[in-house]
Structure 1
Amino acid sequence: MELEKDLTSKFLSGEMSFAEYSNEWYNIEDEEDVDEASKRNDDGPLLFTEKGMHRRRKYARLPPGLLGLMGEANLRFVRGDKDTAEKMCHEIIKQFPTAPEPYQTLAQIYEQDTEKSLQFSLLAAHLSPPDAEEWLRLAAISKQREDYKQEMICYTQAIADDPHNFDSHVKRMELLDKLENMKYPIQTLHITKLKCYHKIVTSLPASEGETIMKYAKLAVTQYHNNNEMERALAVMSSAYKKCPTLFTLEDLNIFLELLIGQKQFHTCIEIFVANAGVEIEAEIQTVKNAEGDIEEQTNYLNCSIPNSLPIDLKSKLLVCFIHLGAINLVQTLLNDFLCNDVEKAGDLYMDIEEALSSAGHHELAIKLLEPLVKNNSFDLGAVWLKHADCLYMLGRESDAIASFYKVLKHAPQHPDARRKLYSILEKKGRIDEALQMLEQDFKYVVNANLLYEQCLALKKYNKLHKYLEVGEALLSKNFVRFRHQEELNMACMVRCGIELIHNFRTLRGESQYHENDIHFDEDEPFKFTPQQEWDFFLEMLRTACNLKKYFTMQRLTFGAMMSKSLSPHRMDIDFYCLQACLLSNDNHNASRFIREFAQKHPTSRTWNLLNLVINYTDRNTNSKFLSRLFQRDTSNNVIKNLFLGNNFLISGRYLVTLKYYLEYHDKCRDPLSAFLIAVTILVMAAQRTVDKHHNLILQGLAYMETYRNLRKCDQEANYNMGRVYQMLNINNLAIEYYERALACEQVAKCDQHGTIDLTKETAYNLYLLYKDHSPLMARKYLMNYLVI
């Protein structure tokens, strides 16, 4: 009551139209559900229930005091005192807003104001007891005003008040036809032709049987097209309840098909007995179920079928008996059914076979399948698949293999056939043949679930190269394969999804998908969870690395940057991209990733990787980048001197190099800085454009002595001293230091990397020094140290 008062007040104040008012109050959208004939169970008869179209309420009656005031208002109106009558009506509404009488009087008072009069009449009709004629009158007025939504509401209320009036139904459908021709947005009315058909079937009395059947067929056809089988059954059940004698054999066939689809087999048996002339002998037994409760169970003993009964109805009767467990009857009836021509009744054979297979009676199902597969008209993949499944369930695996191959002949990509064939061949030990069954042609639509199962099988049998190939194909469902460097640049700069790459390709005038892209079955539900996808991605990387498929690693890591589910791991993916680029010698892209790491993670490992990459990339770009990098963090000035010194040394700017190395040596005083300074000075001394070569050589040798004193490794220090003197053609000193290096112990031993030893390098340099002037000495070093 409070809700209705609130709605009425809003309507009177003009805050809502009557269409909005009625939509709030009436549940028009559920109108087609007035008959729920589908509510039944397999063990009982049809159950029919009805529910009202709108909310149930009692119509309000004025209390005695206000009833007298209402009578006085009507008397004043008749005498012509409209103002007083209007005030009295408003006073009644103020005290009791849900009574219809004051609105009826106000509608008459505002007779000259068509709009107000109509609104008061609509409200009065809504608050009054059912009066279909009044709603039809208001519909006619709304029609004149071309207020189609209000007109539709009026027809709907007229039908609700008098559902047996067929004319009201017809007028509503005529209005729908008119609006469809006008291209009016029908969806805003919440009424469709299908709802009208359903309402006619559930509303008209049994005496209008022909009309009921006409609209029931129309409704069932549309429900079937919309795949709304429960609603189709509901409307057909309502029609059958009212006029079962008007059901033709064709109508019964449709009705039984709907009932079988909803597994209402007992109801089907009742209809066969009542309408199809089938005689059934049965007994009811009382048994205990699995829970220990007592229940009744029907045992079907005998069945007599008229010869005139169409074969499609016979097949449906057989299906019902199969699902009801009357297997003795089924065996008898099946032998009779098999006498029918397969060419004409093949589809019915399939229906019965499906019921038998679902109930586990494969020995009977194969009797139906054998004639089908021998008939050319049913030489189809679906038939062979059922045949193969049935043979497999019967334990005839060798015969099942042949049938599964027939399936693949008709449907080469069929995932279920390939999966089952793999299982049988694996069991028989034909592993290579079994693995071939899991392969799919990427030119056609690919099943992702089968692709994943192929990965597991390949890993199980250690076919790692193929495993990596198939795994990469599976990951391509969520990964991107870049076509241009610009796409990779975009992926590196922005954490974007595949859609951004597709939009970029569209802007370039390219197709979003390449002809070689794998097309996955969109209806297939297989999907990795984010954690599963991450684990599988890491496993693919490890496999590619172990197999030294570095370019595959690169494709995988680049593609992973576009996966939305892997976005939480973006930092790890970037590092894997760097590793893949280093392994595949893609220094250009490696430089992109290491630069970002150097800015975010300034550690010793980062500096080593950065130094490794910049040695193979453009020098000018590196100098600018390094200057910007170390300007941000002044704490790394020492490392800055080393990096810039190395960069300028390689580019040939030796004076600038010397400046940075000297600054580094002043702060660190380590053997590396002394050695680098010595190398730089000696290289400068070798330049023709430099004066005072001897001074530079002496300075270089002085720093080499400093390096030898600081370096606590005799073999390395002596070897490098020998190399310097050999470069300067001071061979006697070079030989002396090489001899010392040979007499020293090796540089280092490591369990992981082995032994670091310069003996062979030293001996080879001695061989070069002696070979021209003392071949015997050269041969001595060759035989002692360099023979494998």
Structure 2
Amino acid sequence: MEIDHLSNMASKNTLVNKDESEDKLLQIFEPNVQSDAVYKFINGEISFNEYLSQMEDIVEDDTSECRIVETDDDRMSIGTVDDLCDLSEDSDLNISEVESESENLNYKKKSKKLIKKKRTHRSKLSPTLRAVMGQANVCYAKGDTQTAVKMCLEIIKEEPNASEPLKTLASIYEEMGQQDKSLQMRLIAAHIGPTNKDEWIELARILKKNNQHRQAVACLTRAINLDVLNLSLYEERAAILKDFGIGGVEGYGYLRLLYKLNPEKDGKTLIYLCEKVARLYYNEKKFEKACNMLKYAFEKCSGLITNAEVNLYLDVLITTKKFKECLEILIKFCNLSIEITSNDNSLIIEKCLIPEDIPIDIREKLIICLIHFNCVDIVRIQIEILLKEDPDITGDLFFDVGTMLIEKELYEDAIKLLIPLTKTDSFNSTMLWFKLALCYKQLNKIEECHKIYQEAIEYFPNDIELKLKFCDELKDAKLYKEAIRITLIDDRKLNLFIYERCKLYLLLNDTNNFIETALQLFRLHYKEISCSEDFTLFSSIFRLSKGMKEKLSQFVPSVVDNLVTLDQEWDIFLKLCNLYVEKKEYDLLQRLTLSLYLSFKFISKRKELRAAMMVACILNNDFELGFDLARFLILQQKENPYRVWNTFCLSTLRSEYNRVHKFLIRFLLRNPHEENGVMLFANSCLFAGTYKYALNDYSLLYDKHKTPILALLISLNMLHITCQKFTTSKHALVTQMVTFLTKYQELRGSDANQEIFYNIGRAFHQLELLPQAIFYYKEALNCNTPVKGKMFNLQCDIAFNLHLIYLNSGQPVIANNYLQKYIIM
């Protein structure tokens, strides 16, 4: 009934609304299971790649005019380009493998001839559908394209694997200017219907123009399956794969064609293909595979080999260091006569007859082989022949031979070949001058080596590597001032040259120039901070949001040149800091550390820079900023070493007391078990005169750690409490004080008797117990300090205290004796 209805529509030429038909062109029918992939692709539900992956389940075996049964080795994947790489993924192209592959190929050809069946194409349409197809073509011819489209889609619903309606739809859409839909219909028709090679090629080229590379490769793969020996198709597909950035030598499929070529009939094609694949392997640095490929061509088609193939094969063999095989090729294909003897697994060439008409490229390969076998006399004769050539044309040959001579330490011969290249335009390069300089250096001709570098700089005035290499040579010769002049030639303020000058000034012990040059190096990536207020401002911006960091980058360079590494600049920074400390220029040291802290290049060195800043602030007596930095270090670290706390103590010596005290209170509220903080808080209370608070904290610490310093501090607190005006039970406090002084003496040890007796005598002196104080002072004078040096000797302090006691007691003579004996020297 549907067919009759469509016939009536065709006879009446029913007009259909154009907009309504275009919306339903591809979505009229519901897909069934058999035509699911076709309808999904037509309706735009799947892409062409996804359609290709499902097509093999729909396409039947009888859709081609001349269908053959393919073996696994010949079948190529239709769905994706990635499967192309599977053809020869495991093939290393050994000769034995190629021969066995050729035998298998002959067997496959015979089997294919038996299986091959030629038959005419039979349409899959039933007689009724063929009639409707004819009516659709009539409608299309009369211009009723919309009715023709509907009839074709109805036929596709009845027979989804028929190609005739798809081809008609392709023509209709092309005429309507809908090229994309036309291409889609042609692709489906090509996959499910009989198609020749030319149609696949045309589809591939259209897809390539539309930048649909994967689909184009799939179409070319179908064309190759229909004409396996067509080299142009392989090259066209390889060009698309190369442009698309996928594939490789194996992925291009050349190896599949190579196995199918008959060396007797297709010798020239085989050699061309082997050479092409070998060059591809060579460019991919797969030298062994390139060598095996050319070896296969030379063995199978030795009668067709030309000098071009010989030159390429020799080049690959030399790259792989197969010099023995090079000689064999030269003897066989270049009429070379050589007398060779073996000695201890090594070859010795005694005589070599070289034809005069041998091409210069092959002669160069021969010279390299002779150099390898240490045939110096023969090599020098051949070098004279090579020198007669024009270096502007054969300069690459000069350079290769010269490089080989340098490897064999034949520097004088290498100089003969390399010097002519310096006068050419094509082969004059910095690498050439480096090799020349190396030759002169190895010959101990240092002056000629330096002249070579000077000439090279005239040719290449902007080459950084050349100047740095020349500086290294001058440093080896201890010509530091000349090396500095080389770094000053370039007007560009490159940090590499500045860094080199820093090292040279250090070698010259020129500290002033070193400091100036080092600061010039750092100024490339930091803003110089002149005062603590600027540092506080910029560092606060540095810790804020990204937008504020961008504001900071207006003042501090955010783009850092990394030609000089961070470690190299850090080494210069440490040496500069040491110089500032030696010169006692602590203000400059502080400015340097503050400035580098804000550098974007030194972000990873922030921790070390904070410590350096803190030390610089203490040395420069900037205790306020030093306290801020020490406080920041303590708050940031979970476990602070003793040196951080000691530095914090130094920074608090002249800082405002209230700031230190409040910080310790807040810190102990968060970290009540931090003993270093408790100790500092007790010291702060002791300095402030709140002795009871200090005594409480010292006692808590003494319970955990029986140390002499805690015993002394406890006794000192009791001493101060005893001396207060309204203190009761002073006798009990003095007794406890003496007890802790005794504990202090026991814990401190007999080695520190001078210190112990002095501290005890000082306590009795404070209590006005002068006889006891005199006793301990005199005991201290009779003791020696365990540490040598005047800094740790307390005799002057002890003698002065005794002098005060005797002077206040009305004994000026005795007091003067102590002054004369221990203080006035």
TM range (shorter): 0.5 to 0.7
**Aligned runs of 1:423-462 on 2, under 5 Å?**
446=496
Q: 1:511 aligns with which of 557, 561, 565?
A: 557
Per-residue deviation, 1:103: 4.7
Which residue does 2:415 correspond to in 1?
369
Letter of the structure 1 residue corresponding to residue 663 of structure 2: F
Which residue does 1:672 correspond to in 2?
713
Give distance in 2, aligned partners of 1:506 and 1:188.
44
Which residue does 1:334 correspond to in 2?
383
Which residue does 2:797 correspond to in 1?
761
Q: Is the 8 A contact 2:527 2:556 kept in 1?
A: no
Change (3 A) 1:171 1:444: closer
Q: Is the 8 A contact 2:196 2:226 kept in 1?
A: yes
Q: Is the 8 A contact 2:685 2:693 kept in 1?
A: no
Per-residue deviation, 1:786: 1.6
Q: Is the 8 A contact 2:267 2:304 kept in 1?
A: yes
Q: Is the 8 A contact 1:661 1:676 kept in 2?
A: yes
Give distance in 1, aligned partners of 2:670 and 2:81.
69
How many residues are aligned here?
Answer: 661
Q: Secondary structure at the match of 1:319?
A: helix
Letter of the structure 1 residue corresponding to residue 798 of structure 2: T
Q: Is the 8 A contact 1:440 1:446 kept in 2?
A: no
Letter of the structure 1 residue corresponding to residue 563 of structure 2: H
Change (3 A) 1:168 1:338: closer
Letter of the structure 2 residue corresponding to residue 77 of structure 1: L
Which residue does 2:653 correspond to in 1?
615
Aligned: 1:133 with 2:198? yes
Change (3 A) 1:70 1:215: closer
Higher mean C-alpha deviation, range 265-274 or range 324-333: 265-274
Give distance in 2, aligned partners of 1:586 and 1:247.
86
Change (3 A) 1:144 1:739: closer
Per-residue deviation, 1:369: 0.7
Give distance in 2, aligned partners of 1:127 and 1:507.
64
Give distance in 2, aligned partners of 1:631 and 1:704.
31
Which whole-Å deviations, capped at 9, do the CAs of 1:499-531 have from their partners, x for residues lacking one? x999768743542357xx772389xxxx99xxx
Per-residue deviation, 1:303: 0.5
Q: 1:592 aligns with which of 624, 629, 632?
A: 629
**Aligned runs of 1:556-571 on 2, under 5 Å?**
none
Give distance in 2, aligned partners of 1:413 and 1:111.
63
Higher mean C-alpha deviation, range 696-705 or range 583-592: 696-705
Q: Secondary structure at the match of 2:337?
A: strand
| TM-score with structure 2 setting the length | 0.53
Q: Is the 8 A contact 1:315 1:352 kept in 2?
A: yes
Which residue does 1:104 correspond to in 2?
163
Per-residue deviation, 1:302: 0.8
Letter of the structure 1 residue corresponding to residue 163 of structure 2: Q
Q: 1:631 aligns with which of 669, 676, 680?
A: 669
Letter of the structure 1 residue corresponding to residue 669 of structure 2: Q
Change (3 A) 1:255 1:374: closer
**Aligned runs of 1:258-407 on 2, under 5 Å?**
279-282=335-338, 301-306=352-357, 314-323=363-372, 329-338=378-387, 348-358=397-407, 360=408, 362-363=409-410, 365-370=411-416, 377=423, 382-383=431-432, 385-387=434-436, 389-390=438-439, 396=443, 398-399=444-445, 401-406=446-451
Aligned: 1:17 with 2:25? no
**Aligned runs of 1:145-224 on 2, under 5 Å?**
154=219, 157-158=222-223, 161-162=226-227
Q: Is the 8 A contact 2:777 2:798 kept in 1?
A: yes
Change (3 A) 1:40 1:279: farther
Change (3 A) 1:640 1:144: closer
Give distance in 1, aligned partners of 2:439 and 2:365.
21
Change (3 A) 1:490 1:289: farther
Q: Is the 8 A contact 1:136 1:154 kept in 2?
A: yes
Per-residue deviation, 1:592: 3.0
Which whole-Å deviations, capped at 9, do the CAs of 1:650-696 have from their partners, x for residues lacking one? xxxxxxx44x32233367576635645866998xxxxxxxxxxxx85
Letter of the structure 2 residue corresponding to residue 135 of structure 1: W
Letter of the structure 2 residue corresponding to residue 616 of structure 1: R
Q: Secondary structure at the match of 2:557?
A: coil
Give distance in 1, aligned partners of 2:677 and 2:245.
76
Q: Secondary structure at the match of 2:564?
A: coil
Identity level (%): 19
Which whole-Å deviations, capped at 9, do the CAs of 1:377-422 have from their partners, x for residues lacking one? 48987556434544666xx4x43x4444445545696677777888
Q: Is the 8 A contact 1:764 1:782 kept in 2?
A: yes
Q: Secondary structure at the match of 2:384?
A: helix
Per-residue deviation, 1:760: 0.7
Q: Is the 8 A contact 1:505 1:511 kept in 2?
A: no
Letter of the structure 2 residue corresponding to residue 783 of structure 1: Q
Give distance in 2, aligned partners of 1:607 and 1:167.
80
Q: Secondary structure at the match of 1:301?
A: strand
Which whole-Å deviations, capped at 9, do the CAs of 1:86-139 have from their partners, x for residues lacking one? 67756xxxxxxxxxxx35367469779868886575356447788312324646
Give distance in 2, aligned partners of 1:7 and 1:510.
69
Letter of the structure 2 residue corresponding to residue 104 of structure 1: S
Per-residue deviation, 1:366: 1.2
Per-residue deviation, 1:437: 8.9
Q: Secondary structure at the match of 2:780?
A: coil
Q: Is the 8 A contact 2:341 2:348 kept in 1?
A: yes
For structure 2, the 5+ residue unaligned runs are: 1-32, 54-76, 103-107, 134-151, 174-179, 458-463, 530-534, 700-710, 743-755
**Aligned runs of 1:462-501 on 2, under 5 Å?**
485=535
Aligned: 1:711 with 2:741? yes
Change (3 A) 1:675 1:266: closer
Q: Is the 8 A contact 2:795 2:822 kept in 1?
A: yes
Q: Is the 8 A contact 1:760 1:786 kept in 2?
A: yes
Give distance in 1, aligned partners of 2:626 and 2:486.
34
Which whole-Å deviations, capped at 9, do the CAs of 1:150-182 have from their partners, x for residues lacking one? 567546754664488799899999x99xxxxxx
Give distance in 2, aligned partners of 1:324 and 1:12.
71
Letter of the structure 1 residue corresponding to residue 383 of structure 2: L
Which residue does 1:661 correspond to in 2?
691
Give distance in 1, aligned partners of 2:594 and 2:245.
53
| TM-score with structure 1 setting the length | 0.55
Q: 2:820 aligns with which of 764, 783, 787?
A: 783
Which residue does 1:745 correspond to in 2?
780
Per-residue deviation, 1:784: 0.9
Give distance in 2, aligned partners of 1:583 and 1:8.
88
Per-residue deviation, 1:334: 2.3
Per-residue deviation, 1:626: 1.4
Give distance in 2, aligned partners of 1:301 and 1:736.
114
Q: Is the 8 A contact 1:715 1:740 kept in 2?
A: no
Q: Is the 8 A contact 1:89 1:105 kept in 2?
A: no
Give distance in 2, aligned partners of 1:318 and 1:502.
67
Which whole-Å deviations, capped at 9, do the CAs of 1:629-652 have from their partners, x for residues lacking one? 122345679975972773795xxx
Which residue does 1:520 correspond to in 2?
564
Q: 1:78 aligns with which of 110, 130, 137?
A: 130
Change (3 A) 1:211 1:647: farther
For structure 1, the 5+ residue unaligned runs are: 1-5, 51-55, 91-101, 177-184, 291-295, 426-431, 650-656, 683-694, 726-732
Per-residue deviation, 1:323: 4.6
Q: Is the 8 A contact 1:283 1:298 kept in 2?
A: yes
Per-residue deviation, 1:305: 1.8
Q: Is the 8 A contact 1:284 1:299 kept in 2?
A: yes
Which residue does 1:181 correspond to in 2?
none
